[in-house]
Amino acid sequence: MLNSFTAVSALRANAVALNTVANNIANANTPGYHKQSVLMTELPPNLVSNLQVGTGVKVQSIRRSYSELTERALTTNASELAASDARLATLNQIESVFTPGPGSLTDRTQKFFDELERLSANPGDVTQRGIVLRGAEALTDELHSSLSQLGSIKSSLRTEAEQLVRDLNSKADEIASLNKQIRIAEGGGANANDLRDRRDQLTNELAGIVDAELSTSGGGRGSVLLADRTLLIGEKSVNLGIATSPEGDTILVNSASGEQVSLTGGRLAGLFQSINEIVPEFENQLNEFSNGLIHQFNQTHATGVGASGPFEQLFGGRAVGDVTAPLAETATDFPIAAGELTVTVTDAATGERRNTRLTIDPKTQSLDDVAALLNGVDHLEATVNSTSRKITLRAETGFGFDFTGQLETTPDLTAVTGTSLPQLAGRYNGTANDTFAFTVVGTGNVGVTDGLSVEVRNGNGDLLNTLDLGSTYAPGTEVEVSDGVRVSFGAGTLAAGDTFDASAIANSDTTGVLSALGLNEFFNGVSASDIEVDGALLNDPRRLAAARSTRPGDNDNVDRLISLRDEKLLRDGTRAFEGFLTETLGNIGDQVRDASLESDSLKASQQRITAEREAYSGIDPNEELVDLLKYQRAFEAASKTLSVMDELMRTTLDIVR
Amino acid sequence: MNLRVTPNLFVTQAQQAAALHTRNLSELQLQASTGLRLLRPSDDPVAIRTVLASKAQSARIDTQLNNIQTARQRLDQGVTNLLDANNILTSAKQLAFDGRQSIDPVERQTLAAQVDRLLDRLVQTANADESGKYLFGGESNESPPFELTGSGANASVRYQGANIRGTITTTSGASIDSLYTGREIFQSQSRGDTIVLGNTGAAVGTAADSGVGGATLSVAHTSTSFAAGSGVLTGTDSATGDTVLGPAGAHKLTIVDTSGTGAFGTISLDGGPEVNFTAADTNLLVTSGTGDKVYLDTTAITAGFSGDVDITGTGTLSTDGGATTIPIDFSANQQVVNSVTGQVTNIDSSGILRAGEASVEFSGTADAFTVLKQLREDLLNTRGLSNEELGDALNRRVADLDRHRDNILTIVGDQSATLESLEATQQRLEEVQLNLAGVISDRESADMVEVVLNLQNEQNMLQYTFATTSRLFDINLLNFLR
């Protein structure tokens, strides 16, 4: 008995196979599509006269060419690559902010210092002073601009992150829906290949946003794990959102629980790293540069004087947290150390200067205490406004004050009983503050009495010099004491034991209190966002403290400001200002290059893994055409078999007729 | 190598290869069009550090060269003006020689007038400026350092500049003195012996003086007293009119009572001309052979007294025109202080015999302007010196002029050496800048030959990519199926 069902089964099976081939060809360019192939198996045989006679063929399954290992590698790579690209894009933008050239931060810094060096040649020149101040203003403008650009980068990154999170939520919803469909579709035992392909594709797209991977949970039907495997997309989706942490970081949160979600990959991870680490790193560098510049410049500027010489009054530009609390325990813009502040009061009529050295200990003294100390200086008044928490210094009419620490012309002669008038001259060029104590040995007339001399000792009591004031000394003649300090004694008497001191000041403020209180400032502000050249200086360049005296050619303080250029004052004393910027630029270059190499490497990996996936799961139309021919021939053969059966049947029927 | 290669792989590879080559072409095109290899820090992070540091250094050298140029201009102008000052002093020296040989007062007056003009020129030279900065005022460079007041005999030159030199920062941390102080140039001192001129008997003391230039020592009479026995008394004008000074015995009166009753007789001072006296004289002037004067009261001459009477004359010393005085103690050293200037003059008063004014010269201390003024006065002999004294004074003026010329030439030497050093520094900086330009160019500039070759290579590679992709896609089973 002929069994036409066998042939029919062949027709059916090969038709399915032909459809599968056609589907493969149709989806040859569909992203995420995996090659499908038909798995045929023979139908159970019939027992005919003790013979097992085959009954045909059936399609047991349509199988995807799917390599879990390769797919996982591809997903992981997509995640890492997306994060890397996000970082690279950010670094490229930052690089453009710092790229050197005319008008750049490095250029403006360099020009500012160059103009200062030019001022050294003509310290009294008001035009050159104006040029220096405009150079400083251009530098502060560029700092603002650079910081603002970094802020814009951060802002646009956050906007992108928010868009990505919406995209992520949408994809998660679709995956959850697919998971449900797969469960239903595969409930009957069939493979939901197309649904799985779609889910795989979505998973890979998701991996571009966050770190994602397929899980084999869900009874083998699989689900998707996110965010370092802390979130599961089953048949129920997740909903994520962006929030700001108490520390100010931009973070991903589970909208339902409000808990922070940690990421290890995907573009979002790159964006968060950019927002929270990379951009702030460079913002911090700008702020460190600005803060250092403000602090160091103000400190040096405060110890000089403008063209008008000593001040009649100065308003402190910086507040402290609490005027009654010890300075070390309350907020100040710049640190204050224990040390000595030298304030000089000048009698405008006589030009006589009097130095007063104040010892300041921030651990025990408050702003009120410091003001009280300053109030104790003759002809100087210090007041603290308890509301603004700032100090104001004012000299009595007919007097001026400054913090230059220059030598007194006539020392304090309280302990001198003789009539000879000692006068100091020169400029102390030692490196540390000292006190030269002059003590008279012998009694008599200066320039007359042999044996009359003066011993000069430093603060440690070491004998520096013995000045012979006997008959070989011409009264009024200056003689060298030590380190650039000279002294002369007028005609008159000196008595044994007469003594006076000369303050030899190398640094008139070893505490940093002048910059901390904002006295005679060059820059206002504390960071790149608020750094400004002091308005009073801009209005009147003559206030620029180029000198430490009223002599128009005195460039002493300009030279001290210039010396800041080469001093390593940033990064814990390892970088000078320009070196710091160069290093920042170099660092950006390094980071861009590293990120670029990482991205290239991940792309190469992606290329290799994609090639592997293509090798395993991709569609080769030639191969499909061969299969097409194979199944076409099989279909034709099955048709022929039916045709033969038909003939045999007809022949048999003809016998009956 | 994958065994199974699909057309998608061809496509992906072609796309990636094309993208790579296009990116490289873009980079190379940018390099070719800008001529630069380093456009962003990431192009070569190591090189960008070097380039930035080199550019900063190069720009800084520009500033330093600018400052050096300013310093050179100032020093050049300084040297020119100092040489001019030297010429002025040389001319003055010639006038001093002429004056020493001249015996014609009119000719000396002419020479003195020429010295006046030289003084004006010297002040102008000392107040020379360069681009508005005074060259010889030290740090006080925005106003003329020397102020000339008065003229002729009343001419006075005052220094109002700074005593600290003006500097310019040239290379990092180094500054050079570009504006010298007028004090060191025109007011240098090389103190020598002090000279006291005049007939008061005052001489140079033993201690060091601090007077500068010259001073007038006023030796004034205070009181006169006589040894007992003769009955002679001081006249009514004695305090103001007597000139005799000295301890007892330095001067003597010789009295001869020719009447035997003290009614009349003769008196002479220090052996000078005899003057008749009577018992009615209360203010009799007696003058010695050397011009010393005493006013006497002879109303109580001891009857019959004939003999010598020792005179004691006290007085004071002053160098500030009598504003402050010290009593003469006739010792080897008396310190006289000028209350205005504080300058000290030490006088040996042991030989003082008479009141009057003594001219004191502190040799080697007069500034250049004072020397010219002293020369003028000596040419006019305002102090009434003898020919010998005048010759000596003119010789001292010549010595002072030489001293100042030597000092000026020493400073010219200093400034010239600084100029030479600056020139060397400038050359060195220019060389460094050239090297830096080389470094910057090496690191930053694109090698155009390399760029063009690479550009061609990348273009070829892109063409290969397109060609092979096209060829591979041509091979298809469909071509063989009928």
Residues B424-459: pLDDT tens digits?
A: 999 999 999 999 999 888 888 888 999 999 999 999
Beta bridge partners of A229: none
User: What residues of B are in contact with residue A589 (Cβ under 8 Å)?
Assistant: 40-45, 48
More confident residue, B24 or A215: B24
More confidently predicted of A232 and B467:
B467
| Band of pLDDT at residue A317, cut at 50, 70 and 90 | very high
CB A532 within 8 A of CB A524: yes
Phi, psi of B390, rounded to the nearest 5 degrees: -65, -40
Q: Which amino acid is at A184?
A: I
Residue B105, Cβ neighbours under 10 Å: how many? 11
Over chain A, what is the mean pLDDT?
90
Q: Is B101 on the interface with A (CB under 8 A)?
A: no
Chain B within 8 Å of A622 (Cβ-Cβ)? yes
pLDDT of residue B474: 73
Interface of A with B in 279-318 (CB under 8 A): none
Compute the distance between CA of residue A281 and CA of residue A275 in angstroms, rounded to an integer: 10
Q: What is the pLDDT of residue A220?
A: 57
Least Cα distance to A128 among A114, A111, A112, A115 occurs for A115
pLDDT digits 0-9 by tens, B244-274: 999 998 999 999 999 989 899 999 999 999 9
Residue A546 has pLDDT above 70, yes or no: yes
Cβ-defined contact of A559 to B169 (cutoff 8 Å)? yes
Looking at the predicted complex, does its ipTM rise above 0.90? no
Choose, out of A37, A91, A95, A122, the residue to mutate when testing the contact with B (most B CBs < 10 Å): A122
Residue of B6, B207, B346 lying closest to A619 (CB–CB): B6
CB contact under 8 A, A555 and B3: no
Do residues B146 and B156 touch, judged by C-beta distance below 8 A? Answer: no
pLDDT digits (tens, 9 = 90+) for B399-409: 999 999 999 99
Confidence (pLDDT) at A195: 87
> Is the Cβ pair B4, A111 closer than 8 Å?
no
Sequence-separated (6 or more) residues with CB below 8 Å from residue A204:
A32, A74, A75, A78
Q: How confident is the model at residue A164 (pLDDT cuts 50, 70, 90)?
A: very high
Q: Comparing C-alpha atoms, which of B132, B168, B144, B161 is closest to residue A556?
A: B168
pLDDT at A64: 87
Amino acid at A281: E
pLDDT at A1 over 70: no
Q: Which two tokens stand for residue A270?
A: 């790159």
- List all residues of chain A from 321 to 380 with a beta carbon under 8 Å from chain B: none
Position A219 confidence tier, pLDDT thresholds 50, 70, 90: low
User: What average pLDDT does the segment A331-358 reach?
Assistant: 94
Of the pLDDT bands very low, low, confident and very high (cuts 50, 70, 90), residue A105 is very high
Give pLDDT, residue A278. Answer: 93
CA distance to A18, A63, B476, per residue, from A626 (Å): 11, 18, 12
Subunit contact B3:A596, Cβ cutoff 8 A: no
The per-residue pLDDT of chain B, averaged, comes to 90
Torsion of CA A530, A536, A542, A545, to 10 degrees: -50
Residue range A51-79, pLDDT digits in tens:
888 888 999 888 888 888 888 888 889 99
Contact B120/B369 with Cβ under 8 angstroms? no
pLDDT digits (tens, 9 = 90+) for B63-73: 889 999 999 99
Average pLDDT over residues B363-372: 92
* Residues of chain A positioned with their CB less than 8 A from the CB of B71: 121
Contact check, Cβ <8 Å, A552/B52:
no
Answer yes or no: is pLDDT of A547 > 80: yes
B174 CB-contact burial (10 Å; exposed 0-12 / middle 13-18 / buried 19+): exposed
B6-58: pLDDT as tens digits: 888 888 888 888 998 999 999 899 999 988 888 888 888 888 888 888 888 89
Strand, coil or helix: A221: coil
- pTM given for the model: 0.84
Residue B184 contacts A where some CB pair is shorter than 8 Å? no
- Asked if B169 and A562 come within 8 Å (Cβ–Cβ), the reply is yes
The yes-or-no verdict on residue A539 having pLDDT over 90 is yes
